[in-house]
Structure 1
Amino acid sequence: MRVTQSMLSNNMLRHLSGSYSKMGKIQEQLMTGKKINRPSDDPVVAMKGIAYRTNLDKVQQFQRNMGEVHNWLDTTDETLNQVTSAMHRVSELLVQASTDTLTPNDREKIAVEMEQIQKQIVDFANTKLGDKYLFSGTNTLQPLFTGYPTTGNLNVNPNANSNKVEIEVFNGITLDVNVDGKTFFANSTNGVVAKLGEIVGTLKDPAKSGADLTGYLSDIETQMDNLLLLRAEIGAKQNRAEMMEYRLDSQEITATKLMSENEDADIEKIITELTTQESLHRAALSVGARIIQPSLIDFLR
Structure 2
Amino acid sequence: MRITQSMISQNMLKNISNSYSQIDKYMDQLSTGKKINRPSDDPVVAMRGVSHRDSLGKIEQYERNIAEVNNWMDNSDDALNEAGQALHRVRELIIQASNDTYEENQRNNISKEVDQLKKHLVDIANTKVNNKYIFNGTNTTEARFDKDGQLINAANPNNNNVEIELADGIKVRSNVNPANAFPADLFAKLDDVVAELENPDASNATIEGFIEDIDGFTQSLTNERADLGARMNRVELMESRIAQQRVATTDLMSSNEDADMEKVIMNLVQAESVHRAALGAGSRVIQPTLLDFLR
Q: CA deviation at 1:163?
A: 1.4
Structure 2 portions without partners, runs of 5+? none
Aligned counterpart in structure 1 of residue 228 of structure 2, from 225, 234, 258: 234
Preserved CA contact (<8 Å) 1:137 1:164: yes
Give the equivalent residue in structure 2 for 1:210: 204
> 1:257-279, CA deviations, whole angstroms, 9 ceiling, x for partnerless residues?
22222222222211111111011
CA separation of 1:294/1:126 partners in 2, compared to 1, >3 Å: closer, same or farther? farther
Secondary structure (helix, strand or coil) at the match of 2:164 reads: strand
> 1:61-94, CA deviations, whole angstroms, 9 ceiling, x for partnerless residues?
1111111111111110011111122112112211
CA distance in 2, matches of 1:242, 1:172: 18
- The answer to whether residue 158 in structure 2 is matched with residue 157 in structure 1 is no
Secondary structure (helix, strand or coil) at the match of 2:161 reads: coil
- The answer to whether residue 103 in structure 2 is matched with residue 106 in structure 1 is no
Secondary structure (helix, strand or coil) at the match of 2:209 reads: helix
CA distance in 2, matches of 1:13, 1:269: 27
Give the equivalent residue in structure 1 for 2:44: 44
Aligned length: 292
CA distance in 1, matches of 2:147, 2:71: 26
- Comparing 210-219 and 270-279, the one that deviates more: 210-219
CA distance in 2, matches of 1:183, 1:57: 37
- The answer to whether residue 248 in structure 2 is matched with residue 254 in structure 1 is yes
Q: How do 1:35-184 residues align onto structure 2 when only pairs under 5 Å count?
A: 35-149=35-149, 154-158=150-154, 160-184=157-181
Q: CA deviation at 1:32?
A: 1.4
CA distance in 2, matches of 1:219, 1:17: 90
CA separation of 1:209/1:15 partners in 2, compared to 1, >3 Å: closer, same or farther? same
Alignment root-mean-square deviation, CA: 2.0
Counterpart amino acid of residue 3 in structure 1: T
CA distance in 2, matches of 1:28, 1:160: 63
Preserved CA contact (<8 Å) 2:138 2:160: yes
TM-score (norm 2): 0.92
> 1:222-265, CA deviations, whole angstroms, 9 ceiling, x for partnerless residues?
22222211111111011100111122122222222222222222
Secondary structure (helix, strand or coil) at the match of 2:100 reads: coil
CA distance in 2, matches of 1:220, 1:2: 106
Preserved CA contact (<8 Å) 2:49 2:257: yes
Q: CA deviation at 1:195?
A: 2.0
CA distance in 1, matches of 2:188, 2:241: 43
Preserved CA contact (<8 Å) 2:80 2:181: no
Give the equivalent residue in structure 2 for 1:16: 16
- Comparing 9-18 and 53-62, the one that deviates more: 9-18
Q: CA deviation at 1:38?
A: 0.9
